[in-house]
Structure 1
């Protein structure tokens, strides 16, 4: 995460350097810049070393903003030379009927004004990384869809209408000039919609996780070692039976991440060998990764999960930790000896226990990190940048 002293909250810098924003790339993201590090943020941050980038948050409504206790930033800001973030505000009721059209109009106007502040009227490329069809909101030479998930199959998880997302997907298929996907499953899906997708899987931040073993032990981790860890958002995507079986084998289990309110962890957290710490700042993740010996990705075999590419699995490797995961297509595609794929509760728990009993070794840690380097975000950004040249 960029530190506060790297932020410029007005457009003064932009107005002084309008020529430096020529040929910019606009990323209309599915997640807000300040929410965390997701694929579009990783890619856009690294692309900015080659092309100026305007990262556009999903619009927030005025009513949501007034209820926001964290006072998220709004408007245009420069986070570093060549990388700007726009956090637009739109009208209430953006997901309903006629107000949806009004919201789109306000949203498009926000982007055009941001471009004007940067001295531009047209973009080199518009990259859409959300389930909304945003192509056509302003002029761009290239229209690229960055499909990180199957949004239609995940409609229930996101609390959105599957019919609406299906209509948006059809419009994206019509308007996009190129589709970039993160898994083979998504490549087949978009091929069925008439495209020849480019496969650029998710990556990992190898620089950030390289030195986790130099971190101090986190004071709020009170578990006997060795420890297996689950990092990331906890929701119905997680197969709790796999973690329950693992905990039943007296494995110390650490859970770190946000939780969907409807997703109960009571069956786990009632056990003395399980700790749920809640969400932690991304900047502190190294400390918690240093505490674990094995990383876990216990995803269900839902259609949404099978189309996804869980970043946490290769982030464990980047930290020098082997992983146990369910056999999603992305895991099979990685084909890594340091990721054990098991689907039944008994097999998943036994694989975790066996890795923990093996203990840490420099050989395993080095092998995990060497594999992760081949799949770093720097590598992915080079592949993505080739589409923009």
Structure 2
């Protein structure tokens, strides 16, 4: 079976006034930035959302996500407006539409929508090399590859991802990496690679430093509390967490976030381990404020070899001392500070958490040290530097 345009457009709920298809906020005098993402805008608020909500100050930003099934079996493009007018585009495909047929349908949907907007040569921004199959045919005024993770090392990565990345690196005008370890891995593969470790919205997380109403699900949990927020997947060392909980049954460990790519039943279950589930970006400062120590219990494996966790500066901006396993970019950036403690084993993690609790007791000193580490770090600064690189590359 084949499908052809013109396609249906579904204008979904948004923070902006709802408008007819093709009439969402769009200024034809501005350049258009088309973002191809494997991460969904509404999943976890992280690097893509921080950057694209800022790029939307200068560009029309179209954020094209991976497809999801269509409830009625008819192909259509769901469109909604998000922060600063970012248009999120979600292809809805019939379940039986798979493989090359699905890719061809997405290409056709994208071509049709760009034609409606009268966009001829957008800037292309890739978060996943696999999207070359969807947008690689488009004429582009600039091609950016924002390599925020080594996706080929993640569980379930398609086997052809490495080949697609090689093709994207050959075509890209500009490559950004989500950390210095990734920059070291990619710098020999392209002549215009720049490291941009994830930054922080200091004002947002600094709310955690002021007195907050504790979230209701935190109130019954005794202190001290060691907290984590983020995606709970193969990157977490759940065995380490289980052993730390066993070593210190008087401590309570809280893991806030969705469980992805691992069986929830595989998570350790103890009276002092708590899994509240996913929370919104707006809710995170209140959770952070209710914890005594923030933790990053990442496993040391292929999927974490190149990560540069956004959580580190967010925790510090919130006024919470950090204990992390020895992730390379965490050690090189924060390992010699007194606000981030590094631990590799369960026993070391307990000792480091004790040190973090002691550091937090002298709050004024801790906050001064945390602010010194954060310096001028901000998403606005990262965005402005990226803008400069893009202008030079055009």
* TM-score between the two structures when normalised by the length of structure 1: 0.85
| 2:226 aligns with one of 228, 237, 257 | 228
Q: Does 1:303 align with 2:299?
A: no
Counterpart selection for 1:35 from 43, 53, 64: 43
2:81 counterpart of 1:87: no
For residue 141 of structure 2, give the secondary structure of its aligned residue in structure 1: strand
Give 2:387's match in structure 1, choosing from 377, 385, 388. Answer: 385
SS in 1 for 2:63: strand
Q: Deviations over 1:166-198 (max 9, x none)?
A: 222222222222211112222232234344411
| Other-structure match for 1:316 | 315
**Is the contact between residue 129 and residue 146 of structure 1 (CA under 8 Å) also seen in structure 2?**
yes
Counterpart for residue 23 of structure 1: 31
Segment drifting more, 5-14 vs 100-109: 5-14
Asked if residue 276 in structure 1 is aligned to residue 275 in structure 2, the reply is yes
Distance in 2 (CA, whole Å) between partners of 1:353 and 1:294 is 9
Deviates more, 1:188-197 or 1:258-267: 258-267
| Residue 56 (structure 1) aligned to one of 51, 61, 64 | 64
Partner of 2:390: helix, strand, or coil? coil
Measured in 1, the distance between the counterparts of 2:45 and 2:184 equals 27
Conservation of the 8 A alpha-carbon contact between 1:7 and 1:80: no
**Are the equivalent residues in 2 in contact too, given 1:31–1:38 (CA < 8 A)?**
no
Q: Per the alignment, do residues 282 and 194 of structure 1 end up closer, same or farther by CA in structure 2, a change over 3 Å counting?
A: closer
Q: Secondary structure at the residue paired with 2:278?
A: coil
Deviation at 1:45, TM superposition (A): 0.7
Aligned-residue offset at 1:296? 0.4
Residues 149 and 308 of structure 1 are in contact (CA less than 8 Å); yes or no, is this contact kept in structure 2? yes
**2: CA distance between counterparts of 1:196 and 1:116?**
31
CA distance in 1, matches of 2:86, 2:267: 44
Offset, 1:288 = 1.0
> Runs of 5+ in structure 1 lacking a partner?
68-72
Partner of 2:3: none
Separation (CA, whole Å) in 2 of partners of 1:40 and 1:181: 13
Distance 1:47 1:181 in 2: 17
1:306-328 CA-partner distances (Å, limit 9, x unpaired) = 11111122211121111011121
Q: Name the CA shift for 1:48/1:18 in 2 (closer, same or farther; >3 Å).
A: closer
Q: Quick one: distance in 2 between partners of 1:81 and 1:325?
A: 34
**Paired residues of 1:231 and 1:255 also in contact (CA < 8 A):** yes
Deviation, structure 1 residue 103: 2.0
* Structure 2 SS opposite 1:35: coil
Q: Distance in 1 between matches of 2:151 and 2:99?
A: 18
Following superposition of structure 1 onto structure 2, how do residues 182-221 of structure 1 map, counting pairs within 5 Å? 182-212=178-208, 213-221=210-218
- 1:6 matches 2:8: no
Q: CA deviation at 1:66?
A: 6.3
- Matched length: 368
- CA change 1:219–1:148 in 2 (3 A) is same
Contact 1:210–1:369, Cα closer than 8 Å, also in 2: no
1:70 aligned residue: none
The structure-2 alpha-carbon separation of the partners of 1:217 and 1:316, relative to structure 1 and needing over 3 Å to count, comes to same
| Equivalence for 2:239 | 241
| 1:102 equivalent in structure 2 | 101
What is the rounded CA distance, in whole Å, between the counterparts of 1:61 and 1:103 in structure 2?
11
For the residue of structure 2 that corresponds to 1:75, the secondary structure is: strand
State the Cα distance separating 1:260 from its structure 2 match.
Answer: 3.1
Cα distance between partner residues in 2 of 1:105 and 1:66: 20
State whether structure 2 residue 331 is matched by structure 1 residue 332: yes
For 1:66 and 1:296, the matched residues in 2 are separated by 44
Are the structure 2 counterparts of residues 195 and 285 from structure 1 closer, same or farther at C-alpha, using a change threshold of 3 Å?
same
TM-score, structure 2 as length reference: 0.84
8 Å CA contact retained: 1:7, 1:77 = no
RMSD: 2.6
Q: Secondary structure at the match of 2:303?
A: helix
> 1:51·1:82 contact (CA, 8 Å) conserved in 2?
no
Q: Does the CA-based 8 Å contact 1:88-1:107 persist in structure 2?
A: yes
2:364 counterpart of 1:362: yes
Provide the C-alpha distance between the structure 1 equivalents of 2:99 and 2:349, rounded to a whole number of angstroms: 45
For residues 118-147 of structure 1, what are the alpha-carbon distances to aligned partners after superposition, in whole Å with 9 as ceiling and x for unaligned? 332221x10000141425232211111111
Indicate conservation of the 8 Å contact 2:22/2:116, yes or no: no
Deviation at 1:238, TM superposition (A): 1.0
Distance 1:316 1:263, change over 3 A: farther
